[in-house]
Structure 1
Amino acid sequence: LYSKLAAKKEGNFFFAPLGISTALAMTYAGAEGETSKEMGRVLHFDELPKERLHQAFGNVTKDLTSRLDREDCTFTVANRIWAHEEARVQGRFQKTVEDAYGAPAQILDFKDSKGATETINTWVAERTRDKIKDLIPPGVLDENTRMVLTNALYFKASWADKFDPKQTREGTFQADGSRLVDVPMMHKKADFKYGEFSLDKNSPTPSIHKPYFVEGLDVQVLELPYSGDDLSMVFILPKDQETLPKLEKSLNPDQVNNWLDQLHEKTVITSIPKFNLTSSFRMKDVLSDMGMGHAFSDGADFSGISGQKDLTIGEVIHKATVEVKEEGAEGGAGTAVVMMRKTCIVQDPIFQADHPFLFAIRDKNAGILCMGRVSDPSKN
């Protein structure tokens, strides 16, 4: 999914895979026939039987929200279904999404497009502590809307070892690889998990290396833990701008996990920009390109929701934001699935993030929760 979004989005962007997959998993609970097969294949939901898949999503959510419920580290998840007053929601579907996802159904008058949009957007804003406002743009919902399935995420975490604001100073960042911009750079020399890798061989760096890169190695990977060591932020820094497209094209969860497994504790001289990003996506085209077009067509089968083949996905909307500063990080994400009626010298390595890089927020059990690209930290 990252590679598809990166190819369509220039500059900074940020998204929450967990939020998108949760909203689509609720939708998948009502998919049947070819629609179910397609969604299962594209989203890798078919790796588990449906009942176990929904249980797994529920378990992940409960685990995250129970472990990450502290003053210095908070992670919350909320789900809800908004149904048209004339919609006939099947009892089995309603039980699945309520039991596994804690998503009660609420009746909404979609004929009042403005009112329905405001109701859903207010709910998302409240669940994300106002980090995500106006998730659904005006005009998306209308009299043909039969259901909206929503997910809202919020997180706030303090670094295990905070950056000293007195060490933050203006630095030069090669925005988009060439244009130079001045941005506040945070600095720290400390022990972190660190590694250098080749995109071709996934081979870790030798024990003796140059301050930036061994010849032939393409990326530096740095993991900064948040307080409590459950969450961390992973930075993936290509050696130059030319490497970034190759990195984004080849990026996949197995590769990232392989790198993370090979990181070693090391003293690292770190320079990272402060940044504040917000991104919005209409995901219909991306998901269709990935092979899920049936769900958006007149041939879609969501009879598990309504008892008839009268529903199709009109759009999948996602919005996410993150702010990274000396104390830690805070952010949120909202997702809405809109269902429509059919019509060589030994020395400390230097991790100097002064050119575009990738980053991810990772949970030690659940894996990558959010991910993004910083091309110009001076822009929101």
Structure 2
Amino acid sequence: MSPPSKLERVSKRKIQKRRHKKTDNRTTKNTHNGGGAPTEPIPVNEADFSLSLSNHVISTFAKDKNLVISPLSIRVLLGLVAAGSNGPTRDQLLGFLKSDTVEELNSFSSNLVTHVFADGEPLGGPRLSIANGVWIDRSLRLKPSFEEIVHSSYMAASDHVDFRTKADKVRKKVNAWAEKETNGLIKDLLPPGSVDYMTRLIVANAVYFKGAWLDKFDTSHTKDDKFFLLDGSTVKVPFMTDRRMQYVRAFDGFKVLRLPYKQGKDKRKFSMYFFLPDAKDGLPALLERAGSESGFIESHLPEYKVSVRRFRIPKFKIGFEFEASRILAGLGVVLPFRMGGLTEMVDSDIDGKELYVSGIFQKAFVEVNEQGTEAAAASALRMMGGCMRNSVKIIEYVDFVADHPFMFVIREDVSGVVLFVGQLLNPTC
């Protein structure tokens, strides 16, 4: 077995050390074994950002595909880019992320690492992790101010590598890191050819979640039944069912189900939400509404349990990958992909002015079964140097039969942080 890289050796040591570090005259609570709610407020627009970005990814890449993504992972990467940018580029990123300052983004990321994503498994809750890594060409050096942000706010470890002569080896190294941090679920994050001798910097983020349902489904009750596709045809798929009361709420045109995960001995509460349109072909309209209506998730949360008559949820697995620069450019984020704005990253005026983002890659995976949910996502940002409330139906009993396309969200309910967003069009694909 090969010895661990500098990134692997340094990462855990720095994270553990910095979780006790005093910041702004207060001590950040170490929640690696304790978890808890964030000490700083989560941006109120975080869920809106997640739904809006997801809707654009669907309309661009997945109109007819199953999808799962982690907008949170991309938000973290863009926050780190903003910290290393200046002038109009920084302003454009702050505007897109709806943040007033880079410090606000740094605080958000720090809270994610130390609080929201503190591993809950030792306390009987979900297994979680979020990891950040930076790979920089050995000819460059990070600016001390940016390096401090990388280590203190993003809890990332940095590693000097040889892009000029060993680009593909570095690509495989990043991929191995992402696979390790997502418990083997995300493989080959960076595709062949995505890293070459012109690459100067790679920033990557990995998110992992595995939670058991608070009330697990009985596998002996799982039965095959019809699932209706958007084109009107049907497929036979295994459906989970349960006779207990459920968190369900009916709205005009759709219903929402909340399935809570087993909670650990801390304040965090994780749940999976299923947004099911009444019409079998109603998902596109529901996605459009969710992506454009401010506060959509908060306004459509089931608050109490109700009796259900017919209750069925399909088992499914989804893997999805995409390159995000096209999406971001369509949303007005163009300056990071041009030279001149990323001047606060490396300690060289010439190299800083020539740095630009050449690609943002993400792979994500989710599996839902009788036991619970396992989900992961990894994103990598490659930089180069070169030239260039609503009407609610009050009902005593409700059916929730997810036998046609729906949207789902995995969320931490205390902070409101959205970890994953997805759509299921066909459980057999």
Taking structure 2 as the reference length, the TM-score comes to 0.80
- Residues 1:348 and 2:397 are matched in the alignment: yes
Letter aligned with residue 380 of structure 2: A
Counterpart of 1:181 in structure 2 is 235
Letter aligned with residue 139 of structure 1: G
Counterpart of 2:409 in structure 1 is 360
Cα distance per residue 1:242-297 (max 9 Å; x no partner): 4222111121461111111x633212242000000000010010000011011112
The structure carrying a bigger strand percent of its residues is 1
Give the CA deviation at 1:231.
0.6
Counterpart of 2:425 in structure 1 is 375
Helix, strand or coil for the counterpart of 1:101? coil
Q: What is the CA–CA distance in structure 1 between the aligned matches of 2:296 and 2:412, rounded to whole Å? A: 17
Q: What is the CA–CA distance in structure 2 between the aligned matches of 1:34 and 1:335, rounded to whole Å? A: 24
Give the CA deviation at 1:347.
5.6
Counterpart of 1:274 in structure 2 is 315
- Counterpart selection for 2:70 from 4, 11, 16: 16
- Counterpart selection for 1:286 from 317, 327, 332: 327
Give the CA deviation at 1:124.
0.6
- Counterpart selection for 1:89 from 136, 139, 142: 142
RMSD: 1.8
Give the CA deviation at 1:106.
0.3
Counterpart of 1:222 in structure 2 is 257
- Counterpart selection for 1:333 from 361, 377, 381: 377
Q: What is the CA–CA distance in structure 2 between the aligned matches of 1:271 and 1:248, rounded to whole Å? A: 21
Helix, strand or coil for the counterpart of 1:326? coil
346 and 105 in structure 1: CA distance in 2 versus 1, 3 angstrom threshold: closer
Letter aligned with residue 262 of structure 2: S
Give the CA deviation at 1:67.
6.0
Q: What is the CA–CA distance in structure 1 between the aligned matches of 2:421 and 2:207, rounded to whole Å? A: 14
Instruction: For structure 1, list consecutive stretches of 5 or more residues without a partner in the other structure.
Output: 198-216
Structure 2 contact 94–102 (Cα < 8 Å) conserved? no
Q: What is the CA–CA distance in structure 2 between the aligned matches of 1:315 and 1:67, rounded to whole Å? A: 30
Structure 1 contact 11–176 (Cα < 8 Å) conserved? no
Q: What is the CA–CA distance in structure 2 between the aligned matches of 1:153 and 1:345, rounded to whole Å? A: 38
Moved more, 105-114 or 284-293: 105-114
Cα distance per residue 1:325-358 (max 9 Å; x no partner): 0000112110001111133996621100000000
Cα distance per residue 1:27-78 (max 9 Å; x no partner): 111011111111111122x23x222320221012211233623344111011
- Residues 1:126 and 2:180 are matched in the alignment: yes
Counterpart of 2:115 in structure 1 is 63
Letter aligned with residue 227 of structure 1: K
Moved more, 63-72 or 109-118: 63-72
Aligned residues: 356
164 and 93 in structure 1: CA distance in 2 versus 1, 3 angstrom threshold: same
- Residues 1:255 and 2:296 are matched in the alignment: yes
Letter aligned with residue 334 of structure 1: A
Structure 1 contact 60–366 (Cα < 8 Å) conserved? no
Q: How much identity, in percent, do the aligned residues show?
A: 29
Q: What is the CA–CA distance in structure 2 between the aligned matches of 1:358 and 1:263, rounded to whole Å? A: 19
Moved more, 19-28 or 160-169: 19-28
